[in-house]
Amino acid sequence: MSLRVLITGAKGLIGEPLIKLLLSQGNSIHILSRTPANSNPAVKEFGWDIENGSIDERSLEGVDAIIHLAGENIGAKPWTTKRKHTIVSSRTKSLELLFRAIKGHTHAKVKTLISASAVGYYGDRGDEILTETSHPGTGFLADTCMQWEHAADALAALGHRGVKRRTGVVLAREGGALPKIAGPVKSGFGTILGSGKQWMPWVHLHDAAHAYVHALNNEQMEGAYNLSSPRPVTNKVFTETVAAIHRKKIWLPNVPDLALRIALGEMKAIVLSSNRTDSTKLQDTGFNFKYAFLPEALHDLYG
């Protein structure tokens, strides 16, 4: 059955392949963007201004499902108080704006809300295996994810099927975290961060996009689902595998925890937090990861 899907934050890393996939399956796409441009004739773009609370309500017309990807990039700039506010509000106020718009829109027929979330929900948890019933963690990333998920739950409570995707590090050649890790490795200056024992849940961009479509089409899915490959690895294994793919060796000593704490402050959580997430719940819904093993995923990305 073809659906009309409204995607927020659609022009980012996950949105781009997701749009292609949804269009290839005969769905129609509306986009909500801060800078609508109608650059792609196959989709309709509409504008919103989250801080000012304005939204083009035509974006909701005939929409069956919303995929909420919008959110200020977490790792791009230092976490000043203002930036922390933007990181949270871009995710939560945007959902609140959708809530008000749907409530006030007499013709809205949205049935499904699929919202991004992140493995940061769990905080720093060492070797503990983290399932969707594990308790949330502490720290800014965990607080952000909890507020994000609460706002998604409130919107879903309007009567929609709500799915939350607790996503690990999305691996893509041209965007996200991988180029930042692979760049120094390729130049021969790659390093393991901290002890290197922290778990890094990862997911290939192909699987991330397909998992969103799977949640859209699988009406049994509801609630939170970890979205990371069934084989998370530690930072040490991750870095060494990236090095092996590029026929390089990691010869520099590990960057000590203390140096990362001094250089990054609170943002150290992005690289030092350990999340050993389990994806059984997602796989039990019939989702098969194309890239379950890191070397296969990296071979695909780097050829």
Minimum CB distance to ligand NAP, residue 71 (Å): 3
Distance CA 126, CA 154 (A): 31
Distance CA 32, CA 9 (A): 7
Minimum CB distance to ligand NAP, residue 175 (Å): 6
| 102 vs 248, beta carbon nearer ligand NAP | 102
Distance CA 254, CA 196 (A): 8
Stretch 27-46: interaction string toward ligand NAP, x if CB under 6 A = ------xxx-----------
Minimum CB distance to ligand NAP, residue 30 (Å): 12
Minimum CB distance to ligand NAP, residue 258 (Å): 26
Using DSSP's 3-state secondary structure scheme, residue 201 falls into: coil
Distance CA 259, CA 229 (A): 30
Distance CA 31, CA 33 (A): 6
> Contact 301/291 with Cβ under 8 angstroms?
no
> Residues 3, 12, 270, 291: which binds ligand NAP (CB under 6 A)?
12
The structure tokens listed for 121 are 């929900």
| 47 vs 223, beta carbon nearer ligand NAP | 47
Residue in the block written with tokens 């976490």: 79
Footprint of ligand NAP on residues 140-199 (CB under 6 A)? 167, 169-170, 176-177
Distance CA 79, CA 175 (A): 21
Stretch 66-105: interaction string toward ligand NAP, x if CB under 6 A = ---xxxxxx-----------x---x---x-----------
Residues written for the chain: 303
Size of the site for ligand NAP (CB under 6 A): 26
Torsion of CA 86, 92, 97, 100, to 10 degrees: -150
Contact call for residue 118 and ligand NAP (CB under 6 A): yes
Using DSSP's 3-state secondary structure scheme, residue 67 falls into: strand
Q: Facing residues of 5 across strands?
A: 29, 65
Stretch 248-287: interaction string toward ligand NAP, x if CB under 6 A = ----------------------------------------
Distance CA 89, CA 34 (A): 14
| 5 vs 248, beta carbon nearer ligand NAP | 5
| 10 vs 243, beta carbon nearer ligand NAP | 10
Contact call for residue 56 and ligand NAP (CB under 6 A): no
Q: Report CA 111 to chain centroid distance, whole Å.
A: 22
| 202 vs 287, beta carbon nearer ligand NAP | 202
Where do contacts with ligand NAP occur on this chain (CB under 6 A)?
9, 11-15, 33-35, 50, 69-74, 86, 90, 94, 116, 118, 167, 169-170, 176-177
